[in-house]
Amino acid sequence: MAPKTILVCLTTSEHAETLLRCAVPLARKHGAHLIGLHTIEALVVYPGIAMHIPDTVFASFNESQKKEADAIRDIFEKHTDPEEFVSEFRLLHAKAQSASDRMIVSARAADLVIMAHEDKDNDRYDQRHAQAQVIRKSGRPVIVVPLDYDGPEIGANILLGWSDTREAARAAHDMLTVADDGAALTVLRVGKNPQDALKDSDTIDVAEMFARHGLKATLDHRDPDNHSIADVLQNVAFETGADLIVTGAFGHSRAYDFVLGTTTYALLKDQKLPVLFSK
Do 161 and 139 share a domain, yes or no? no
Name the domain boundary from 101, 116, 145. 145
Geometric angle at alpha carbon 246, from 210 and 206, rounded to 5°: 25
Closest among 120, 116, 94 to 105, alpha carbons compared: 94
Do 141 and 170 share a domain, yes or no? no
pLDDT the model gives residue 99: 83
User: pLDDT for 75-129, tens place per residue?
Assistant: 999 999 999 999 999 998 876 567 888 999 999 999 999 999 998 888 877 788 8
Do 116 and 16 share a domain, yes or no? yes
Do 99 and 224 share a domain, yes or no? no
Measured N-to-C along each axis, helices 130-137 and 99-107 cross at an angle, to the nearest 10 degrees, of: 30
Give backbone dihedrals phi and psi of 11, rounded to 5 degrees, phi first: -80, -40
Do 12 and 130 share a domain, yes or no? yes
Do 75 and 197 share a domain, yes or no? no
Is pTM, for the whole model, over 0.85?
yes
Note the residue count of the chain: 279
Do 216 and 267 share a domain, yes or no? yes
Residue 85 lies in a domain: yes
Residue 152 lies in a domain: no
Do 40 and 94 share a domain, yes or no? yes
pLDDT the model gives residue 256: 41
Per-residue pLDDT at 152 exceeds 90: yes
Intra-chain end-to-end CA distance of the chain, in Å: 19
Do 172 and 258 share a domain, yes or no? yes
Do 137 and 30 share a domain, yes or no? yes
Total domain count, the chain: 2
Do 199 and 119 share a domain, yes or no? no
Name the domain boundary from 145, 171, 193. 145
Instruction: Give dist(CA 225, CA 267) in Å, integer.
Output: 18
Helix or strand holding residue 14 (H, E): helix 13-30
Place 137 in a pLDDT band, splitting at 50, 70 and 90.
very high
Owning domain of residue 72? 5-145
CATH of the domain at 135: 3.40.50.620
Residue 120 lies in a domain: yes
Do 10 and 122 share a domain, yes or no? yes
